[in-house]
Amino acid sequence: KCLDDVMTALYTDFYKKQGRGFTHEEFIGVCTEMAGKDMNSFFDNVIFSTKPLDYERIFSQYGLSLKDENAGKTVAWSGVVSSRGNGKTTISNIYSNSPAVDAGLSVHDEIIAINGWRVDGRLEDHDAKYGVNDSVEITYARDGKIYTAKLTYAKSTKVAYKLTKADPENELQKAWLGN
């Protein structure tokens, strides 16, 4: 059985027969029926939870290896996404709980200089020049007024996942990928 079977059963049992939609509980009930086992813990732990999923364990069952190539690296990060246009570097996005937020920077601020040196590219292109916990003075303009702020770089939270075949003879992998 698959999700298509679940959706067909929901359509038939609830819409066609009863002329209505279905509740979360009814959806889980049909999933339980199709799977042949109780699906409540799956929904509680995977769908309705904010806990991180154990992707490494899940993929390993299929003979696949999932690795974060950034694990263990200490790359400096400002938390800024900027763009360059009309000779200006402008902040287009700032990540929550980032060094940029702590420094008081905002979206649409024009970044003028770092430590007194004119910025002629995107701000994040300068991140590699600095280490974690390094502080820089950012000169920026907001609504026509010039400001300075101290930005202290933090460890990057970026991930770079790589999925590789650890066991090409894995039966679940063959069934999933059709090999």
* Model pLDDT for residues 23-62, shown as the tens digit of each residue: 999 999 999 999 999 999 999 999 999 998 889 999 999 9
Q: pLDDT grade, residue 163 (50/70/90)?
A: very high
Count Cα atoms within 13 angstroms, Cβ side, for 94: 18
Domain extents in the chain: 1-51, 56-71+159-179, 76-155
Q: What pLDDT is stored for residue 158 in this prediction?
A: 83
Determine the Cα–Cα distance for residues 110 and 88; give it in Å rounded to an integer. 7
Q: From residue 39, how far is each of 44, 120, 158, 176 by CA, in Å?
A: 9, 55, 32, 21
103-107: long-range pairs with CB below 8 Å, 24+? 103/138, 103/149, 103/150, 103/151, 103/152, 104/149, 105/80, 105/138, 105/140, 105/149, 105/151, 106/142
Tell me, what's the pLDDT at 177?
82
The per-residue pLDDT for 97 is 92
pLDDT in tens, 72-123: 888 899 999 999 999 999 999 999 999 999 999 999 999 999 999 999 999 8
This prediction has a pTM of: 0.62
Instruction: Give CATH superfamily name and number for 76-155.
Output: PDZ domain (2.30.42.10)
pLDDT at 117: 95
> Are 167 and 173 spatial neighbours (Cβ–Cβ below 8 Å)?
yes
pLDDT at residue number 85: 93
The H or E element spanning position 27 is helix 24-35
At residue 73's C-alpha, the angle toward residues 93 and 64, to 5°, is 95
Asked if pLDDT for residue 179 goes beyond 80, the answer is no
Question: What is the three-class DSSP state of 128?
Answer: helix
Q: Which residues contact 47 (CB under 8 A, 6 or more apart)?
A: none
- Per-residue pLDDT at 173: 87
